[in-house]
A and B are shown apart, each in its own frame.
Chain A
Amino acid sequence: MDKKNKDAVIIILIVNAILISLLELLIPVPIPVPGVKLGLANIITIIAIVFLDLKDVLLIVSTRCVVTAVLSKGITALPFSLTGGILSALVMWWCYRKMSRLLSIKGISIAGAITHNVAQLRVASLLLRESVLLYYLPVLMVSAVVTGLITGFISELTVEKIRAQGIFKETTLNSRM
């Protein structure tokens, strides 16, 4: 795939991630915790991890965070979303490449959700230089398991369907097909 087409695929995946996150309005979070979202955009990160290389995954995650921050006018939230997004993508990529025999996509998604929440809270506690924020960690960990499981369940099914349809046949760099 040439660079221009690859850019187009990346643009489409980022747009899809932003649009898919709108569906969060429809799905009730089982444990309503302030600051906790389902993170449906993670579905696209997982698809990218399965079908694309790490560089593209990181480009997709970081550009999505930048665009979301700019469009929602919440640019100051960028350090949080960027740290959480990139670290969780790295952890999920490592889990998928090195531990896929032990972890299903659901497990990988849970690992990503936990990393995301821990990273965001760590950034907040570093910025405020207040360790009291870390007391919130157990709450966020439990909610990350639940939201990661839901997102992982949808991601697993979506990845299977995408594989079955052979969508990434021409664009796949690391497909295990």
Chain B
Amino acid sequence: MAHYSTPPARLKVEIDPGIKGIVALVLMVLAGLSNNAWNMAVVAAYLLVITVFVIDDYRFVVKSLASYAIIFIVPYLIGLLLSRLVSLVVPGGDAMTGAALVTAGVKLLKLFFLWYIGSLYFTTTPFGSIAGMLNRFFRPINGLGVPVTRYLHMVVGIVEQLTQAADLFMNDVFARARQVFSDDQLGIRPKLQELADILATFIATSLQQTEQVHNNSSRTVLESYRLRIGRSEILAVLSLVACLLLFYYPPMN
């Protein structure tokens, strides 16, 4: 039996990965189509409700916000600052107006919704279930010459191998590298040379395990996926329908 399933966040409710995937896709479309404050509020409220109802550990919300800020918000703010500076220095340079800033803010918010929905799905779904489901859905493509099953096996093999190799790496390579970089007597060049030595040895040793990795990989079994429809799945679909109705028919109309 494969042990490649990464533990998801602690869940209050388990939902079939396929149904959850469809709900996530519909939500992503809704987030993309949002063009007024009401639409955004509905999507945000629905995301808040499912976060509260589905997971028990909110650390991923902070992680998600932090990674989004690093990739989008910080470069955007620095870009904005630099564009302002350029517009001050270069005559005729175009600084963003208030309306343009609001439009940019709306786009950033929409993108955050997409970001968050993706994170929420992968945080609440074990990797093994996702691999099994993808294998089930895309199996017919194998016949067309696209080796989906082979790639999924490879991905699962990587996750298994990572699980096995991580401890060894941390206790050996990481510890040795830490020792090198904590040595104040060494300059940066000798430190990097030492690191290259450590890495070359590590790569050489790991490549000697080709046979073992091949054997492990050939024993890997992808989880078999079967659609499950229970109370949680029905509630998920009904809540999505309610969200869709609220999204398209605001109560004040």
Contacts and interface: CB of A to CB of B under 8 A. Distances in A.
Given A26-B181, A162-B204, A128 B111 contact: yes
A139 B193 CA distance: 28
A74 B66 CA distance: 11
A10 B63 contact: no
B173 A19 contact: yes
Interface string B198-227: 011011101101110110011000000000
Interface in A1-22: 4-5, 7-12, 14-16, 18-20, 22
Contacts of B209: 12
- A-side binding surface: helix, strand, loop or mixed? helix
B155 interface: yes
Interface in A118-172: 121, 124, 127-130, 132-136, 139, 150, 153-154, 156-158, 161-162, 165, 167-168, 171
Chain A interface: which size bin? 35 or more
A63 B131 CA distance: 14
B83 A158 contact: no
B123 interface: yes
Interface stretch (A65-73, A85-93, A94-102, A107-115): A65-73
Contacts of A171: 207
- B-side binding surface: helix, strand, loop or mixed? helix
A75 interface: yes
Contacts of A18: 158, 162
Contacts, number: 177
Interface residues of B, number: 69
Interface of A: 4-5, 7-12, 14-16, 18-20, 22-23, 26-27, 34-35, 43, 47, 63, 66-67, 70-71, 73-77, 80, 121, 124, 127-130, 132-136, 139, 150, 153-154, 156-158, 161-162, 165, 167-168, 171
26 contacts: A7-B217, A11-B157, A11-B217, A15-B161, A19-B166, A22-B169, A26-B174, A27-B195, A63-B151, A67-B162, A73-B119, A73-B122, A73-B123, A75-B122, A76-B114, A77-B67, A124-B71, A128-B72, A132-B79, A132-B80, A132-B83, A133-B76, A136-B75, A157-B192, A158-B203, A161-B200
Given A5-B214, A74-B67, A158-B203, 13 more contacts: A12-B206, A19-B173, A23-B173, A23-B195, A34-B75, A73-B64, A76-B117, A77-B71, A128-B76, A128-B104, A139-B78, A150-B192, A157-B196
